[in-house]
Amino acid sequence: MIKDKNIVVDAVITWVDGNDANHKAKMQDFMVNKRSIDSKNVRMRYGQVNEIEFVVKSILKYATFIRNIFIVTDNQTPDFLKDKEIAKKRYPNVYIVDHRVIFKGYEQYLPTFNCLPIESLLYKIPNLAEHFLYFNDDLFLANKTKLEDFFIDGKPVVRGNWTSFYEDIWYKKVQSYLYKFLGKKDKSNVYGYKKGQQTIAKILGFKKYVKLDHTVAAIRKSTYSDYYNNQPEMLERNIKHRFRHYEQYTNQSLANHLEIAKDHYIHKKDYQLVYFQNYKKPLWWIKHKFKMTERDNQKLFLCMQSLDQCPPKKLAYIKNWLHKKYD
């Protein structure tokens, strides 16, 4: 049996500065509708307000067992790491990993503007530990964590609930029928976060799936490498699309269901998550939600999606809160 104290754990964060002019120009070269580069939908996916700094600080403060932090990006460096001398002193265990490193042998699929291919190749990060935690760049640790929150005797903690596939849920069937009847857009040809989880669960032979939410994923590197070495066509399927495609799948869900199939996992139903999806609610509500986060040390994860879309007054408050919490 693997003892937790002997486990080395790294953290991996995928990040992009969608405001960068070079990145926007690169992306525009591959877009069908060139004008959509500045649309709200595009900016919500690629925009940022330097929250990556606080993601890193949250790991350093609340996951002291982490060895190294790898930021995977496309020839970019977050502002707080641009002064190399300061970065070396303050963040000696934070490393930038370029897409070209993990896409070695698959350079024909670069550049990519799709997190799914990038997530598929994280296991190729040089010197990455066998056990690692995967963060999106809008996901923070909200309170102190311990190794056992993610791995117990080497087994990944899988957070989620067993859920039926869309085609097995009656109201989803009705919704699909109404869409067809009313001539609305067929969403079966659109990638979705939950759909991507269901896609891979079906491929692996499951009748239901463990539904993920926006929390940290605990992953074993060998789970990916073993699967992709034996199923190279599945890797190709996920990395060949520069933008999201309906046939793609969620890699965290792949890892989870492979571990479940081997009965090498610990199941936890509680997501332990505080989630911000939009910022239309009043400032007092945001303040209240932050206070609840601070009071409840069982809430381990804080996800703030599309923070760049937050109105200026609310954004100023949120960034001030982040500074006070993590600095």
- 172: in domain: no
> pTM for this structure?
0.92
Evaluate whether residue 217 is within a structural domain. yes
Residue 148 counted as domain residue: yes
Domain assignment present for 154: yes
What sign does the CA torsion over 312, 317, 314, 56 have? positive
Let me know if residue 63 belongs to a domain: yes
Work out how many domains the chain is built from and give that number: 1
Task: Count how many residues are written for the chain.
Answer: 327
Q: Which CATH number covers residue 153?
A: 3.90.550
Longest Cα separation, the chain: 62
User: Taking Cα atoms as reference points, which of 52, 106, 57 lies closest to residue 77?
Assistant: 52
Q: What are the φ and ψ backbone dihedral angles of 255, each rounded to 5 degrees?
A: -60, -45
Tens of pLDDT along the chain (327 residues) come to 445 667 999 999 999 998 888 888 888 888 877 565 555 555 445 556 899 999 999 999 999 999 999 999 999 999 999 999 999 999 999 999 999 999 999 999 999 999 999 999 999 999 999 999 999 999 999 999 999 999 999 999 999 999 999 988 877 777 777 777 777 766 667 889 999 999 999 999 999 999 999 999 999 999 999 999 999 999 999 999 999 999 999 999 999 999 999 999 999 999 999 999 889 999 999 999 999 999 999 999 999 999 988 999 999 999 999 999 999
The number of beta carbons lying within 10 Å of the beta carbon of residue 145 is 21
Q: Which residues contact 193 (CB under 8 A, 6 or more apart)?
A: 212, 250
Spatial contact of 48 and 137, defined as CB atoms under 8 Å apart? yes
188 inside domain: no
pLDDT confidence of residue 2 = 47
How many Å apart are CA 109 and CA 117, to the nearest integer? Answer: 9
Structural domain boundaries, residue 93: 4-162+210-326
The answer to whether residue 35 sits within a structural domain is: yes
- Position 64 in a domain: yes
